[in-house]
Structure 1
């Protein structure tokens, strides 16, 4: 029996549906309905939801690295320095994950299903090696920047649950639970610094992201050769 669907179609449908129902609402039954097939047909391609999430994360990664791969024949166009690589790669990850509802949660904790991540990662780490970092230092630098980015996206998507480009979202897309004025009225008198920290943390998320990357880059520079 030949299935009328393949893995790519299932993943495309799952990513489309993710934007409508979020991670909690994403089920194999709903994906099957979207594809107009019976749910058991999906098990030809994915044994369970986790396998599907792994493939979804892999496809998201392919899409986020496509612009980098297109910048030159010799590998990803991260930039001339490792510092530029940190900023360009993390911006690409954040931008792609924000395109999907719960994109950060989908991406976190999943496993790549092919080797499409190896060339970008190898090229990224090579910039650190050329700058005199040890393989361990380079790997830890990447791991730190990567986890900061994915973690920030998860927090960011709790404030702005609707998927899309951060430059195009307005105040109406902000979750009402993150009313910073109300927070300061409630807590500001007793906990002024904590209330102010909430505005700094959840106010301008673009600035928070860029500031965090600068802190990470400064930390990488400061700890080079220490471990």
Structure 2
């Protein structure tokens, strides 16, 4: 009769994907603060040295987690291909942001991890996560924005959404917080729509001479 595998059993095989998925499960259950290399190794049933063979440390682990986070909860990326106006983009961005909030509130502390990486400290990890960023920027470009403007616009939307979610980390979910997030999101998207349409309808000063 085969003996059951014990924690630290060298016969247990782990992969980068299984490490990231297990880490996400731990975050969902007890928050980011519960995620340590030692706790993760125990959860995987391997020794700490075996885990360090795949991941150099906690920061690299969080990078892996960031790349494993789902881009969205549906076929939004496909829908973005048909966007040609800012109104069409906003119609997709709003439910996408609400779905993102639901996901991150179910993974306490994860929004802050993502915000750190979107916010300029390790942006390469977010670019590697999926192609959703590129799909959003391309969609915004088709609305009439220059590529640099489209990229900056998406960055602003992503930062605000993650920052707003991160701010809710210590507060229990409530109807008031739901309404506050939705209100702030609507203000942001309304401002974006107005700004883009004004930019597209304004005349180039050079043409007035």
With normalisation by structure 1, the TM-score equals: 0.68
What secondary structure, in the 3-state scheme, does the structure 2 residue paired with 1:67 have? coil
Select the structure with the greater relative contact order (CA < 8 A; seq sep ≥ 6). 2
1:208 aligns with 2:156: no
Q: 1:158 to 1:3 in 2, by over 3 A?
A: same
CA distance in 2, matches of 1:39, 1:125: 40
Change (3 A) 1:4 1:11: same
Cα pair distance change 1:56/1:143, threshold 3 Å: same
What residue number does 1:189 align with? none
1:98 paired residue number: 105
The counterpart of 1:88, out of the listed 81, 95, 100, is 95
Separation in structure 1 between the aligned mates of residue 97 and residue 152 of structure 2, nearest angstrom: 15
Alpha-carbon contact 1:64-1:92 (below 8 Å) kept = no
Q: Normalized against structure 2, the TM-score is what?
A: 0.74
- Measure, in 2, the Cα distance between the counterparts of 1:101 and 1:116: 20
Unpaired runs of 5+ in structure 1?
Answer: 70-74, 161-168, 172-202
Q: What displacement does 1:126 show?
A: 2.5
115 and 104 in structure 1: CA distance in 2 versus 1, 3 angstrom threshold: closer
Query: In the aligned structure 2, how far is the partner of 1:45 from the partner of 1:113?
Result: 20
Q: Is the 8 A contact 1:108 1:150 kept in 2?
A: yes
In the alignment, the residues of structure 2 paired with residue 209 and residue 87 of structure 1 have an alpha-carbon distance, to the nearest angstrom, of 11
Cα RMSD, aligned residues only: 2.6
For the residues of structure 2 that align with 1:86 and 1:15, how far apart are their CA atoms?
24
Aligned-pair distance for 1:137?
2.0
